[in-house]
Structure 1
């Protein structure tokens, strides 16, 4: 039995904030957002494909429904991969019953906690950043054509923003089994005080990293999310913009379980919750 001073540390979860906007250059919002005290993610329906907003909402709502059983907490990497595979399979199932949805797809970037470790799941060009001790670090690597060109030396990083094919992604969730297997999953010990940013490319394609870092610093998670959205609109983002800011805290400091949705997931008939 542990003595009082040797009690096991409290598990680490999240205090989150989120924001999502269609923007002035788009007619609809194809992004979807989910947040809870143990997990959060952003899904961006792939532009140019059928029903991107349906794809992002389908994956988001299916993942959220499965996470409900544990109030958003996951039991490890294997379980997380199972959940993503099931949500991905739902895309194929939905398209089978409605052929007009054939070809729909979505990116996914998510943050998940088992109380001790932080898992980052990622496919596509939505991104995860970590702010630690004042330093902003990009944790994910885009699954995109321009990233492959940069990695091969055929394109300079400074030219990415102006490249006409910068929106072409090389891996997404589209219903095929291989799509789920291609999801990148990394794990690291959870560290209290870290601040994470999950963002669709509507933010990162238009707002420079130093501006993102400044907007992400200080205030509550919700205040930071609102500042980031304001910066994206100030920089005239030509895409939907969705962000989640998640602060790593002792679960005793986290709010009671009450998952929240944003973007197209908030408007989907399968979800009864609003922003």
Structure 2
């Protein structure tokens, strides 16, 4: 981990002991974690696949779709590949410390483990916001090309509520991946359970009639569905809070405690 540079090294005071080592700032740690997300071959390939998937989805909607061609519709559709793939990068941001055996180096340079974990959370959130910015740019290009590729005109309609809720949705999705990574500390196990557990939960609560009400309050996919169109109402925000508490807050708290207390070898 390159969080400590030459400027952070202790200097010898004339006639006195060396100056104490200053810990790297949280901003520097966040930049380091962002760089880690694309330093590995897996991270670079995953980012490339996400970019290609976003362009492909928007292009298919533009050229083959029979529905609306507004900026709002393109923005909503462009979120799908990011929502599926970017949480995997959030998982790898945590679990790679153990799979690549860099955790000892990281926590030696920064003994306060909570600072490193906070930096990982901030870096993952920044990746989610950057993803929304990138999909917004692709959606704008799609609207510009609409009159050329179809018989429809350019429709720039989009609401601030949709943009804000889409950004929040992506942050929740990526941080859910980070939470599973913290809890399990194994890339394969965290990735599999991140996709399998919510899917099984959704199938069970949707199949069993007596449990269908649970889907509205504890199924994250159900609670976040209105966010694609910026349509969350007061009850929707409450349902988002309860489902986020189950699938994000709970595993993150347990994982945070696990990493803080873990003996790293």
Structure whose CA Rg is larger:
2
Per the shorter chain, which TM-score range? under 0.3
TM-score (norm. length: structure 1): 0.25
Name the structure where helix makes up a greater proportion of residues. 2
TM-score by length of 2: 0.25
Higher relative contact order (CA 8 A, sep 6+): 1
